[in-house]
Structure 1
Amino acid sequence: MDTAHKAETFRELHRREGAFLIPNPWDVGSARLLEMAGFKALATSSAGHAFSIGKPDNGVGFEAMMRHLADVASATALPVSADLENGYGDTPEAVVRTVRAAAEAGVVGGSIEDATGRPDAPLYPVEVAAERIRAAAEAARSLPFPFTLTARAENYLVGQADLADTIRRLQAYQEAGADVLFAPGLRSLDDIATLVRSVDRPVNVIMGIAGVDLTLADLAAAGVKRVSLGGSLARAAYGALLRATRELQQHGSFGYAADAVPMREINEMFRQYPGQR
């Protein structure tokens, strides 16, 4: 499937009734396993990829991240949307560069967040953030395929759990041209439903949050269109690794192997991957 076809397929997922899951692989192997599991689209995880190369979240630079996007996008027949963090720069020009580079890497969508990465001022002023989204949207519209732009309001992830300001920000990003709106960190179904009612674009929420007991059906009933998982799948895999290492170190036993996927099974899954792209 070429990039244009992937892009149209991804757009169509947002037009269908109900909500869809968009899980987050962290490397080529996890992307292919998720494709074989039957999901319809994938989204990269900046945190998951950073962990896979031994770095903390937000520790991967622009060039390295673009190479990662190209690796994942070329490894699967599914549409891939990219976690583009804050656009790898403060200015609208930096965001434009990032959107164009991501498209060249083969992804068909991407998210831009309004977090600065600075503890003293963790969020861009809403006017500045909206201008960055406007520039990203203009860059997306100039591409030869429909690039689905997601705008993220990071209030809850930077310790500013203010639903009213989150909604105000997402409304501004909607007006600036975002195709999808995303407020990671929302935990309450009531808050999520309030957000959905306050905007007129598809809403993405993130699940895989410890202590949040919501289902895809719950979220669909609230009007959510897309549910991503962030770094939670990568953290689940690393959690299994850490539990195994503790068993080895503390007990000298090997019970972890009982939960490991059999070698023959996973080997055969990768062997049968179509075309071994």
Structure 2
Amino acid sequence: MAKAANGPLGTLNGKLHNLVFYVLNGQHVCRTIGDPGKPSINQLANRQEMSVTMRLVKSIREFISVSFDLEAQGTVKNAHNLATSYIKKKALKGQYPNLSVDYSKVELSHGTLEGARDLKLEKKEKGVQISWNTEGRYDDIVMILLCHPLRRKATSLINASRRDAGTCFIELHHDGFLDEPIEAYICFRAADGKEISDSAYLGNLNGEAETEEQISQKKKYAEVKQRFDVVEADYLLQMKNNRGNPVDSKAFRNLAKEYQVLKNKLEHLPGKPG
């Protein structure tokens, strides 16, 4: 039951039929509940967009809670909302069901503080070396983010260094992180925390990570190929033992049919290695 605490012309709070009314960050919100029915292609695409976006946002929440804090102040939004909005609108690529993050377009901060120039990202024996031009306010704080897409994790350095240092080394020799795809970002924050720069994409190390769809396709191909190898071996052995002629039995006819079906399926199935 919805309640009108401020009279019949006031705002509602609670449930009314398939509508729910509530207050979020000072704003009155109304949403529907219940079974929405079979989703359309556009709805499925939107769900995947949100799913892909949220996987990234979840992994970088420590970083964005600081990098978007200033932009969120004085608004009804929070850092999480801002990051989700920017990534979903600007940093996705592909078409449903093959949507993925375009890491080069991810924005992690917006501000007026002087940004970074002459950026350099290098892979070292035990970690990652990042360098930049030191022009600007010497005591600005350097914030660095390394995304690890395969792990759905991120290395967040909120106070990585100072601008005047010109370089920062991040140790990553443990757990194989250094040899997996890495997407790197940098921004600068004033020492008093009152200003921040636009974020900058440093680049990629070790190539792009596969999308969820690509991983699923490879897994499916491997499963079909494994079954085909077993069926093929049995089929060829029986043909060989019968001097190259089909065996006159129902079991062999079923085997031959499965052999042909799997063979044709593998020819057209995505996810083939190489």
TM superposition score category, shorter chain reference? under 0.3
TM-score, length-scaled by structure 1: 0.23
Query: Larger RCO: Structure 1 or Structure 2 (Cα < 8 Å, ≥ 6 residues apart)?
Result: 1
Whose strand fraction is larger, Structure 1's or Structure 2's? 2
TM-score, length-scaled by structure 2: 0.23
Whose helix fraction is larger, Structure 1's or Structure 2's? 1
